[in-house]
């Protein structure tokens, strides 16, 4: 793989006004705080705010040396003009619905998507291009989209090829059956669930495919020292049993002077397949908070208690010392 990702990456969905408006000052503060904190990997997608995230991120990164940062974006959803809905608001992003998303994992669709992303980002190449949520499109994604990205990789238009999903069985198929460099695994390898140990992680190690962890806080359930009663998990209200498990983990964290987000970030980094962890943030304060959590040492006793209580899979790798293994 011809890209090097910083251990922590900034997810830019919030730059596309995810759920609420992100001001220009907030967006600029997030990128500036990330850069000042040593983050050099930035992830976006056309889906995020119907292109707004890509436009904002490209403009904000233009002040920095191009060779010093890595940008990933995604293909699979083309943006088509939609004048009939221009007066409406998009569903999840607070932007006018001037475009509609069209699933397209064809060769032509992939090449068009990359061309349009390059224009929005103001770049001459994309460092990492992921297929975005191809859950219902295995055949076209594996037989057309991946080969199209490989062509673009050979042409130097993209540097690395990957797939990003919220599930591991199909990610594992992509790892084993196609020529990709990376996968982005959202929410399926976290402090709360380690199902990826059974399929994705061993395949990634065997095939030398890097794993980027997203959704490390499971939709916010692990984002605070203790989850609120109305916490979400997988974008829906968290089940009672999962809230109880999270509170058990929080009890152990508190006994040793650390927090859920400290431990959540440290846990995923310990797996040898993991090359980066992408966390979304809306402004400088949130970025600085994530950076602080990522640098907090976690005592070895935390891992011992979590394992003995079966709150994490006993086979899951954990940091070997209480020193943080991330240097930004």
- The catalytic site residues sit at 48
What is the distance between the alpha carbons of residues 266 and 297, in angstroms, rounded to a whole number? 8
Phi, psi of 18 (to 5 degrees): -65, 120
What is the distance between the alpha carbons of residues 74 and 109, in angstroms, rounded to a whole number? 12
Q: Which of 43, 110, 111, 32 is nearest to 277 (CA)?
A: 43
Please enumerate in sequence order all residues whose Cβ is within 8 A of that of 160, keeping only pairs 6 or more positions apart, or say none. 1, 2, 3, 127, 128, 129, 153, 181, 182
How many Cβ atoms are within 10 Å of 143's Cβ, its own excluded? 13
How many Cβ atoms are within 10 Å of 65's Cβ, its own excluded? 7
Q: Which stretch of DSSP H or E encloses residue 61?
A: helix 52-61
Q: Which stretch of DSSP H or E encloses residue 278?
A: strand 274-280
What is the distance between the alpha carbons of residues 80 and 296, in angstroms, rounded to a whole number? 44
Q: Which token pair is 196?
A: 């990826």
3-class DSSP assignment, residue 217: coil
Cα-Cα-Cα-Cα torsion 74, 77, 79, 82, nearest 10 degrees, comes to -150
Please enumerate in sequence order all residues whose Cβ is within 8 A of that of 236, keeping only pairs 6 or more positions apart, or say none. 219
What is the distance between the alpha carbons of residues 176 and 188, in angstroms, rounded to a whole number? 18
């Amino acid at each position: 793989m011809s890209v090097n990702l910083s251990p922590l990456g900034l997810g830019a969905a919030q730059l596309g006004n995810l759920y609420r408006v992100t001001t220009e000052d907030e967006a600029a503060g997030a990128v500036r705080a990330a850069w000042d904190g040593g983050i050099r990997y930035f992830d976006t997608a056309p889906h995020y705010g119907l292109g707004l995230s890509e436009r904002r991120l490209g403009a904000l990164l233009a002040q920095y040396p191009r060779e010093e940062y890595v940008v990933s974006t995604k293909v699979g959803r083309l943006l088509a003009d939609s004048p009939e809905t221009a007066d409406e608001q998009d569903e999840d992003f607070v932007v006018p619905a001037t475009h509609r998303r069209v699933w397209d994992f064809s060769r032509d669709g992939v090449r068009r998507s990359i061309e349009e992303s390059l224009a929005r980002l103001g770049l001459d190449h994309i460092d990492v291009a992921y297929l975005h949520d191809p859950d219902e499109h295995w055949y076209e994604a594996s037989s057309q989209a991946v080969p199209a990205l490989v062509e673009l990789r050979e042409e130097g238009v993209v540097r690395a090829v990957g797939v990003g999903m919220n599930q591991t069985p199909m990610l594992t198929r992509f790892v084993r059956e196609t020529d990709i460099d990376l996968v982005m695994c959202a929410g399926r390898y976290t402090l709360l669930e380690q199902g990826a140990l059974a399929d994705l992680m061993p395949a990634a190690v065997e095939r030398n495919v890097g794993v980027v962890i997203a959704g490390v806080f499971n939709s916010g359930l692990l984002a605070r020292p203790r989850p609120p009663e109305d916490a979400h998990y997988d974008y829906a209200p968290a089940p009672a049993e999962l809230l109880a498990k999270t509170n058990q983990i929080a009890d152990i964290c508190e006994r040793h002077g650390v927090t859920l987000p400290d431990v959540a970030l440290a846990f995923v980094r310990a797996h040898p397949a993991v090359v980066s962890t992408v966390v979304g943030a809306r402004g400088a304060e949130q970025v600085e908070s994530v950076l602080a959590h990522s640098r907090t040492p976690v005592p070895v006793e935390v891992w011992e208690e979590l394992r003995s209580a079966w709150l994490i899979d006993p086979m899951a790798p954990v940091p070997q010392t209480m020193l943080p293994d991330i240097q930004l």
